[in-house]
Structure 1
Amino acid sequence: MASQGAFTEIASLAGDPARAGMLHALMDGRALTAGELAQVAHVTPQTASGHLTKLAAGGLIAVEKQGRHRYHRLASPAVARMLESIMQVAAGAARRKPVVTGPRDQALRAARTCYDHLAGHLGVALADSMIANRQIELTADAGIVTADGATLFERLGITLETRSPSSSKPLKSSRILCRPCLDWSERRPHIGGALGAALCAHCLTSGWIRRVDGSRAVSVTTKGRQAFRKHFDVEV
């Protein structure tokens, strides 16, 4: 169990408004430069650099260097789950106040990325479909892929064991294959773990969904509507 000091440090790092904005921007699984994160947080590049140094030292982000550029991403799926849980608690608190949601909020609720897997109504609908068709089984904190599920993913060309969808590096053996991730807007689980990441990557590369600029939201294409109906019996 983490010490009170470590808990306080992490809470302080995530609680700063500028750093919270940066972490939220990294929730879609992509790596961003310090300049891009400075714009998101509405701070100067120098201030952003200081915040990023603290986040890296605290283990919340990882830094990758390519040529002259340095890219920042969330350090692990565990960090993404922590942030998603905070959003869930924050959304519950917000419901006690009058809230008018705009089109962007509606788009996030419809379909978005949660670190490197699909969330929102679409993510939950896919999980429900695979559970109903006995392709996966989920408990409160774990999940398995059944033989029917393995057949589905093989037919779709989804490989789970070899490569991470966001990197050329092999998947770490410590990453759970399939696990539930409680969706902050739907209050029900979508699919996390290596399976959720591979499915999200497949949807993007196949042109079933497209990222929305400046947001974690994704839009479903006509091709995607047809594919989700055909393979998962999900109407979008």
Structure 2
Amino acid sequence: MTAHGPEHGFADIAAVGGLLADPTRAKVIGALTDGRALPASVLAAEAGIAPSTASEHLARLVGGGMLTVERSGRHRYYRLANAQVAAAFEALAALAPIRPVRSLRESGRAAAMRNARSCYDHLAGRLGVAVTEGLVAAQALVRDDGATGTERAAGDRLAAPVAEHTYRLGPAATPVLAELGVDLAEVRGRRRPLLRFCVDWSEQRHHLAGGLGAAVLTRMESAGWVARHESRRALRVTDAGASVLHSVLGIEPS
């Protein structure tokens, strides 16, 4: 092997970095991090480019394993390949320089994203962390590492999925989740892991992901407890949602 040859077993980070280095492709990924599947025409509009140009970028993202595509009628719908793509995008957001806010509208959007947003299919931001802390306080979740609340452990990477979390279901998991309208037995019967956690990029604390995190967000949306802003990723808590979160988890969402 030559001195400059590739070493087997190492991830080709440069290949992924090259895909996201283009601002247009980054916008496309960002538009899909709420878990939706969108047609090329919508993604072109969100990225501010012509449909023909969008097709080239989408083909590269599909070829690079970051997106999947399926045909429905005359349209092709694109979505993130998996939750890891969304997590990687969130992690890069924590490392990227903050773009200057040039209007009150942009300032409002940035604040809304920090307050409550979806991260692929689960809650993130202050609301995601608060709900997770509420579940811990209510003994629906229990930490086994001696830490309190949702503070990240010493070995946790910033803005990334927690590789080996120390949470488990607590003694009050079934009744507390039932009060939120989540059937724990049904969620546990699914194939995906029940408990996963991320280090929230804006709060730098744990928020709940995995099958249970997805079930909580799905329930909150279907019950009308949260509603999406026009950006789609940002969420706002409705009056009904604020009432439920306060009565069940004792939190006061802003």
Q: How many residues align?
A: 224
The answer as to whether partners of 2:123 and 2:207 remain within 8 angstroms in 1 is yes
Aligned CA distance change for structure 1 residues 69 and 124 (closer, same or farther; 3 Å) = same
1:25 equivalent in structure 2: 31
CA–CA distance in 1 between the matches of 2:216 and 2:230? Answer: 21
CA distance in 2, matches of 1:47, 1:105: 28
Number of the residue aligned with 2:172: 148
Partner of 1:166: none
Residue 117 of structure 2: which of 101, 106, 112 is its match? 112
Structure 1 residue ranges without an equivalent (≥5): 164-169
Asked if structure 2 preserves the Cα contact closer than 8 Å seen for 1:144 and 1:177, the reply is no
Instruction: Look at both structures and tell me which one has the larger radius of gyration over its CA atoms.
Output: 2
> Runs of 5+ in structure 2 lacking a partner?
1-7, 146-152, 154-161
Counterpart in the other structure of 1:86: 92
Whether the 8 Å contact between 2:118 and 2:233 is mirrored in structure 1 is yes
Structure 2 counterpart of 1:80, one-letter code? A
Secondary structure of the equivalent of 1:22? helix
- Cα deviation, 1:166-207, whole Å, max 9, x if unaligned, reads xxxx95x2x321122111111111111111111001000000
Identity %: 39
* Structure 1 vs Structure 2 CA RMSD: 2.4
Distance 2:186 2:76 in 1: 26
More helix per residue: 1
Q: Is this contact kept in 2: 1:160–1:198, CA < 8 A?
A: no
Q: Is residue 141 of structure 2 the alignment partner of residue 136 of structure 1?
A: yes
Alpha-carbon distance between aligned partners in 2 of 1:137 and 1:221, rounded to the nearest angstrom: 28
**TM-score, structure 1 length as denominator?**
0.86
Q: Hey, what does 2:4 align to over in structure 1?
A: none
- Deviation (angstroms), 1:161: 6.5
TM-score by length of 2: 0.80
**Which residue identity is paired with 2:251?**
V
Amino acid at match of 1:83: F
- Does residue 126 (structure 1) correspond to residue 131 (structure 2)? The answer is yes
Structure 2: distance between partners of 1:106 and 1:121 = 10
